[in-house]
Amino acid sequence: MTTSAQTLPLLKDPQRLENRLAEIPPEPGVYLMRDGSDRIIYIGKSRKLRSRVRSYFRESQKLTERIATMVRQVTEIEFIVTDTEAEALALEANLIKQHLPYFNVLLKDDKKYPYLCITWSEDYPRIYITRKRLLSNQKDKYYGPYTDSHTLREILRLCKRIFPLRQRPQPLFKDRPCLNFDLGRCPGVCQSLISPEEYRKIVQKVAMVFQGRSSELIDILTEQMHKQAELLNFEAAARFRDQINGLKSLTADQKVSLPDDTVSRDAIALATDAQHACIQLFQIRAGKLVGRLAFVADAQAESGAILQRVLEEHYQTAEAVEIPTEILVQHELPEPDILADVLTQRKNRKVTIVAPQRQTKAELIEMVERNAQYELQRMQKLSDRNQQAMEDLAAILDLPELPHRIEGYDISHIQGSNAVASQVVFIDGLPAKQYYRHYKIKNPTVTVGHSDDFASLAEVIGRRFRKYAEDPQLQRLGNPDWPDLVMIDGGKGQLSSVVAVLQEMNLLEDLRVVSLAKKREEIFLPGESEPLSTDAEQPGVQLLRRLRDEAHRFAVSFHRQQRSDKLKRSRLDEIPGLGHHRQKQLLGHFRSVDYIRQATPTQLAEVSGIGPRLAQEIYDYFHPS
């Protein structure tokens, strides 16, 4: 197995491609595909490695746009042979977690559905709701995605009332806890009044709620309540009683009628059209519907294969206690035994996968499928609206094709201070937040009291497209990073400054640029003194308005962040060699910056961690000659 990186893609070197494919054995295992930078961009598994890998490079094979883009970048293929398909599945999951390949994404993170995150990587874990699932830290745990964000927020709010948890993301006071501590709603995390070990025990109870183990948690709390009552510790027993009552009210509704209430089960079904597959997964524990998760996938494979892949990816990050003993599926899976064996080994208890055909379980699958169908209809309506908007915009601007990737730019500042810019991206009419970027304006002429939006926009556009100007051989048209349309927030002046820098870089010929003025929602083209004749409410203009508003929102939020960070900075930050820890030591000793300013070098050197040399530098900073 070779690991040397080749810069030439295998598709452009047929002889090397054929030789490499011939080296791959027809055995079970995992294959890894690398690009010209030696990065792993895709990991897959197969019961016959050679056949599976060869299928990517057949001209007759119809590949999705995502996979076709990946294949064009492959310069090397590695493989790891395993004894069984189950071993290949487990190895694939581990390698994907380790390397996070760019193209190993079946389930699209379209930011619609929220997750709940518990940051187990921290001494005092935080619990928060997010729409962006980051896998950079393997210790942090994500639950979801959940279809009902309102219900998720309500459950988290109730959990914070039932259990003493951190209530604020940042401490309210530096040297004492806030009112939540006195009310018993927070154990004093900000002042470390509870040990990390004890606090993690509380968070583990909250995690059981989102694992669907509320009944198990109620049994544990009931036992602890009786134990405290026997010890005549009635105050502690009352706290456990209140927690039990809160959990019972939390799970009182959403009862699902099934023959066996003691079995934990997941039910999964999907609805598809020509492009998309909407998948719904119902989590049922002790006869109660405790979670309803949603996923979106490309509808390029058979329904059973899509369900199998969704289940594989879903259970990759699940803890053993979260894996149910029974999984109900809408369609027969291609390899149900392999998945069942892997889950059985992880849970240390038999896990069965069933495609029910009649009676109550089949009715449950029909209910899940109906929910998936409703979600597909909603997605189709949204897709139709975006399609109509892109067609109208293409007609307005006389574009040869629909604008697949549109980028919007805006500037934000207050009279030149903390000037920043935003770049937002819409793919097929929808925000693609993974491509959003923000810029700090570096132009020395943009200072407090002197703003220059024209120069700022020219700088940002120059930085965004500099690599294409420096490397004329770099592919433009057809490159996923190259926009079909660039929109500037502003009028003729802003557009002219951007056009000038693009002309200077010899990029204007291949790049379509427009601007959208705020007052009358007018669209300006390069070289035209008058705006296009459009209606502010027609679909294409509305699409540009949504892009403009999103660029403005993103720029303003980044500007506020920069301004807030600047206000938080102390004068001590400006002293070289004086880091955060030493600043805390100084402030703890002198209590204020004014007292530090008045101190002599000898007094400064008395502080732990501050030597004579640094003490002199601090003194010289406050007393320049």
Residues 95-147 have pLDDT tens digits of 777 677 878 755 554 456 688 888 988 889 998 888 777 766 778 888 777 76
pTM attached to this predicted model: 0.55
Residues paired with 165 in a beta bridge: none
Q: 291 with 235, same domain?
A: no
46-81: burial string, b at 16+ Cβ within 10 Å, e else: bbebbebbbebbeeeeeeeebbeebbebbbbbbbbe
Q: 364 with 443, same domain?
A: no
Q: 450 with 471, same domain?
A: yes
| C-beta pairs of 586-593 under 8 Å, 24+ apart in sequence | 586/610, 586/618
Q: 450 with 549, same domain?
A: yes
Residue 252 has pLDDT above 70, yes or no: no
- Rounded to 5 degrees, φ, ψ at 439 are -130, 140
Q: 154 with 22, same domain?
A: no
What is the identity of the amino acid at 353?
I
Query: Could you give the CA distance from residue 127 to residue 119 in angstroms, rounded to a whole number?
Result: 7
Rounded percentage of the chain residues whose pLDDT exceeds 90:
17
Question: In terms of residue numbers, what domain contains 323?
Answer: 265-275+285-378
Which residue among 545, 566, 587 closes a domain? 566
The pLDDT, as a whole number, for residue 261 is 60
The pLDDT, as a whole number, for residue 329 is 93
Residue 18 has pLDDT above 50, yes or no: yes
Residue 301 has pLDDT above 90, yes or no: no
Q: Which two tokens stand for residue 436?
A: 């959003």
Q: 189 with 313, same domain?
A: no
The pLDDT, as a whole number, for residue 548 is 92
Query: Could you give the CA distance from residue 238 to residue 612 in angstroms, rounded to a whole number?
Result: 57
Q: Which two tokens stand for residue 343?
A: 């889950």
Query: Could you give the CA distance from residue 185 to residue 175 in angstroms, rounded to a whole number?
Result: 18
Asked if residue 109 belongs to a domain, the reply is no
Residue 327 has pLDDT above 90, yes or no: yes
Asked if residue 218 belongs to a domain, the reply is yes
Query: Could you give the CA distance from residue 179 to residue 163 in angstroms, rounded to a whole number?
Result: 16
Asked if residue 22 belongs to a domain, the reply is yes
Task: Quote the DSSP letter at residue 607.
Answer: S
- Of residues 168 and 465, which shows the higher confidence score? 465
Chain-centroid distance, C-alpha 301: 25
The lowest-confidence range among 8-22, 182-196, 237-251, 387-401 is 237-251
Q: Which two tokens stand for residue 227?
A: 């134990």
- Of residues 562 and 399, which shows the higher confidence score? 399
Q: Domain with 591 in it: what CATH number?
A: 1.10.150.20
Alpha carbon of 395 to those of 228, 528, 537, 561: distances in Å? 74, 18, 15, 39
The mean per-residue pLDDT over the stretch 15-27 comes to: 88
Nearest Cα residue to 335 out of 92, 589, 624: 92
- Residue entry with tokens 């793919």: 427
Residue 246 has pLDDT above 70, yes or no: no
Query: Could you give the CA distance from residue 406 to residue 426 in angstroms, rounded to a whole number?
Result: 5
Asked if residue 88 belongs to a domain, the reply is yes
Nearest Cα residue to 321 out of 396, 214, 185, 457: 214
pLDDT band at 148 (very low <50, low <70, confident <90, very high): low
Q: 145: cis peptide before it, omega within 30°?
A: yes
Residue 487 has pLDDT above 90, yes or no: yes
Q: 334: cis peptide before it, omega within 30°?
A: no
Q: 174 with 308, same domain?
A: no
- Do residues 550 and 408 touch, judged by C-beta distance below 8 A? yes
The pLDDT, as a whole number, for residue 2 is 40
Asked if residue 280 belongs to a domain, the reply is no
What is residue 140's three-state secondary structure? coil
The pLDDT, as a whole number, for residue 512 is 92
Q: 123 with 242, same domain?
A: yes
Residue 172 has pLDDT above 90, yes or no: no
The pLDDT, as a whole number, for residue 250 is 52
pLDDT band at 4 (very low <50, low <70, confident <90, very high): very low
The mean per-residue pLDDT over the stretch 34-46 comes to: 86
The pLDDT, as a whole number, for residue 254 is 46
Q: 587 with 550, same domain?
A: no
Q: 541 with 613, same domain?
A: no
Most confident stretch, 126-140, 232-246, 318-332: 318-332
Which residue among 65, 99, 133 closes a domain? 99
Alpha carbon of 619 to those of 530, 586, 596, 616: distances in Å? 62, 13, 9, 5
- Do residues 20 and 11 touch, judged by C-beta distance below 8 A? no
The pLDDT, as a whole number, for residue 550 is 92
Give 326's contacts (C-beta < 8 A, 6+ positions apart): 263, 264, 265, 266, 351, 352, 354
Residue 409 has pLDDT above 80, yes or no: yes
- Residue entry with tokens 């583990």: 204
The pLDDT, as a whole number, for residue 569 is 55
Nearest Cα residue to 118 out of 98, 143, 136: 143
pLDDT band at 574 (very low <50, low <70, confident <90, very high): confident
- Work out whether the CA dihedral 564, 157, 171, 199 comes out positive or negative: negative
Query: Could you give the CA distance from residue 326 to residue 94 in angstroms, rounded to a whole number?
Result: 24
Q: Which two tokens stand for residue 230?
A: 């026997």
Asked if residue 106 belongs to a domain, the reply is no
Q: Domain with 499 in it: what CATH number?
A: 3.30.420.340
Q: How many CB atoms lie within 10 A of CB 489?
A: 25
Nearest Cα residue to 213 out of 318, 80, 58, 305: 318
Element (H, E) at 489: strand 485-489
What is the identity of the amino acid at 338?
I
DSSP secondary structure string, 172-193? Answer: S-SSS--HHHHTTS---GGGT-
Rounded percentage of the chain residues whose pLDDT exceeds 70:
91
Chain-centroid distance, C-alpha 414: 31
Q: Which two tokens stand for residue 342?
A: 């892997």
Q: 562 with 584, same domain?
A: no
Q: Which two tokens stand for residue 478?
A: 């057809």
CA angle 540-543-547, nearest 5°? Answer: 145
Do the bridges between strand 115-118 and strand 485-489 make them parallel or antiparallel, or are there none, so unpaired? unpaired
How does pLDDT run across 560-572, given as a tens digit for each residue? Answer: 887 776 655 566 7
Asked if residue 259 belongs to a domain, the reply is no
Alpha carbon of 428 to those of 121, 382, 542, 547: distances in Å? 37, 11, 14, 12
Which residue among 99, 130, 148 closes a domain? 99
pLDDT band at 461 (very low <50, low <70, confident <90, very high): very high
Q: 404 with 511, same domain?
A: yes
Alpha carbon of 239 to those of 160, 222, 229, 235: distances in Å? 14, 11, 11, 6
Q: Which two tokens stand for residue 617?
A: 């530098």
Alpha carbon of 536 to those of 488, 519, 521, 545: distances in Å? 17, 10, 6, 9
Query: Could you give the CA distance from residue 253 to residue 258 in angstroms, rounded to a whole number?
Result: 15
Residue 6 has pLDDT above 80, yes or no: no
Asked if residue 475 belongs to a domain, the reply is yes
521-551: burial string, b at 16+ Cβ within 10 Å, e else: bbbbbbeeeebeebeeebbbbbbbbbbbebb
pLDDT band at 485 (very low <50, low <70, confident <90, very high): very high
Looking at the structure of the chain, the number of domains it has is 5
What is residue 45's three-state secondary structure? strand
The pLDDT, as a whole number, for residue 436 is 92
Element (H, E) at 78: strand 76-81
Terminal-residue alpha carbon distance, the chain: 67
